Amino acid sequence: MKKLAGFFAGALLVAAISACSQQAADEVAVTAPAETAEAFVARANAELKALGREAIAANWVRATYITEDTAIIAASAREKYAKWHGGMVQQALAYDDQELAPATRRAIDLLKLGTSLPTPNDAAKRKELAQIATDLSGMYGAGKYCRNDGDCLSGSELEVLMQSSKDYAALEEYWSGWRTIAPPMREKYQRYVELANEGAGELGYGDLGEMWRAGFDMSPAEFQDEAARLWEQVKPLYEELHCAVRAKLGEHYGEDKVPEGGPIPAHLLGNMWAQEWGNIYDIMEPYPGESDLDVDTTLKNKDYSPQEMVRLAESFYVSLGMDRLPDTFWTRSQFTKPQDREVVCHASAWGLDGGNDLRIKMCINQSYEDLRVIYHELGHNYYQGAYKDQPPLFQDSAHSGFTEAVGDTVTLSMTPGYLKEIGLVSSAKISNKAIINRQMRMALDKIAFLPFGKLIDEWRWGVFSGDIKPEDYNKAWWDMRLKYQGLAPPNERSEADFDPGSKFHIPANVSYTRYFLARILQFQFQRSLCATAGHEGLLASCSIYGSKEAGKKFFDMMASGQSEPWQDALEKLTGTREMDATAIIDYFAPLMTYLKEQNAGRSCGW
């Protein structure tokens, strides 16, 4: 996904926050050393700081130069880290029954959770899993849909076509074509699940999904309930949006293709995965001409380069009192797709060398959509830079949703007033109709995304636990997409397909719950920061651009990294200790009223 692509690619693509030399790995993969817990943590931090460059550099090269050689390098780095991590975790178990200082206990607990891909304590299986993970990521990155005439289209090219076309048959071709890359992944993915579950079991977890859910300063069961609670808070708004969108699509394509009362065909929503629907805004615009948000035209007419687009985003963070990005950011980042090699175009932010070497990896187009992605990705970079002085075991966000929410919060401040101030739109008119237009545009992305953000990991939790059997992978996928999103595939799917594999985060092994939580947290963050900035009036009209007071509050929260429970970090920024979706409801109150009026008399639901 390019919209919410933000994640720490170096750490999360491979779950490798460091890698030690083979000799060091052999030395630590033994019985618990005779040292205090404090000394153990200090040693772990020293090794992470000294040796972390190898793994993340290997995976940067793999993502920006997809070749057989870089696959070998990346797989080797994965294997080294896995062996080191497994040995350190075995040593860490010796401190489980000791009374420790809170910071020491937290560091040891985080060390145990320091991989999203735990490997079995068996050299052959560890090597096998590292190779499978590398293969799956590479298969996605190099995937192409080739037509009968020999014309082949990459994933990013197909995404662009999906964004602009309104031809039913062509959209179905692009949608189905991209999914031809996934069936070859299926057997590898099944084996990956077996090996990763074995690794999680050796760390004391029932399965990999349980281990992932353990990283939220609450029990896995409590977290699963928390995610369900948050979804129930926002579900009514999504259902109203779904009803209105289906009706408009029925008018556009015909009710024979989009029948009232049924699910929406998944290929008609302007996005390869129907996760965000902003590209059908032209169909959904409530009041044509009431707002001037044609940023795409401005970017093209003024011929903004990718670097100039990134400079715009950097200037926003600088206006909050944060530093400019280091010079190396501009020389080492990937801003465009090279013509001479295969790369992963999926947008991501990287904090190499403990956050001292910040980079983004994108294939930037002149579009408002990509501009928002840039603002989002720099949120990761500024977060990475903010906590770089923390010990390595604390160099992460308060929880995974926080890092996504930072950049998302900033995009909420890309209001008409802000866009006019920086010269990207000609008018900042804020009539009631213009407010509804803007909220519709935003809801088609931010609200439409919520059920998708929840179901990706819920599907994986079922796969990891065994509740979803390998012979039901695709059926369960579409059952969940129907249940949560009210969507159906445009053509018959079977277990010969492996549609989950067409979504980057599945083969790349990146947990997705962070994006769901980020959609909740960003509105909490924004409401608090706008109050700090002294904003009055509608929350939807607030931009914190230029507020040093809001910037300081933001930065102070980020600087704590993962050194404290997320509840403490949340309280520091918002004054509350519970994630709460009421800010979303408040933000979109004008749109909710409009949607209910439009849906009166319609048969909603699916």
pLDDT for res 292: 63
pLDDT category at 2 given cuts 50, 70, 90 is: very low
pLDDT category at 434 given cuts 50, 70, 90 is: confident
Residue 463 host element (H or E): helix 432-465
Residues 512-549 pLDDT 10s: 998 899 999 999 999 999 999 999 988 998 999 999 99
Residue 174 host element (H or E): helix 168-178
Residues 553-567 pLDDT 10s: 999 999 999 999 999
Secondary-structure percent of the chain, ordered helix, strand, coil, rounded to 5: 60, 5, 35
pLDDT for res 48: 83
Positions marked catalytic: 346-347, 376-377, 380, 404, 505, 515
* Pair 286, 511: CB distance under 8 Å: no
Listed by start position, the domains of the chain span: 1-14+144-200+207-606
State how far the Cα of 372 lies from the Cα of 301, in Å rounded to an integer: 18
pLDDT category at 53 given cuts 50, 70, 90 is: confident
* Pair 499, 477: CB distance under 8 Å: yes
- Report the number of secondary-structure helices (H) and strands (E) in the chain: 25, 6
Q: What is the CATH number of domain 1-14+144-200+207-606?
A: 1.10.1370.30
Residues 6+ apart with CB under 8 A from 321: 548, 551, 552, 555
State how far the Cα of 254 lies from the Cα of 246, in Å rounded to an integer: 11
Dihedral (CA of 276, 278, 282, 283) sign: positive
Residues 152-167 pLDDT 10s: 999 989 999 999 999 9
pLDDT category at 315 given cuts 50, 70, 90 is: very high
* Pair 371, 309: CB distance under 8 Å: yes
State how far the Cα of 507 lies from the Cα of 137, in Å rounded to an integer: 5
pTM: 0.81
pLDDT for res 344: 87
Q: Which of 6-15, 225-234, 475-484, 492-501 has the lowest mean pLDDT?
A: 6-15
pLDDT for res 431: 83
Residues 6+ apart with CB under 8 A from 538: 435, 590
The share of the chain scoring above pLDDT 90, in percent, equals 76
Q: How far is CA 209 from the centre of its chain?
A: 17
Residues 58-78 pLDDT 10s: 999 999 999 999 989 988 887
How far is the CA of 164 from the CAs of 10, 176, 251, 288, 467, in angstroms?
32, 17, 18, 18, 38
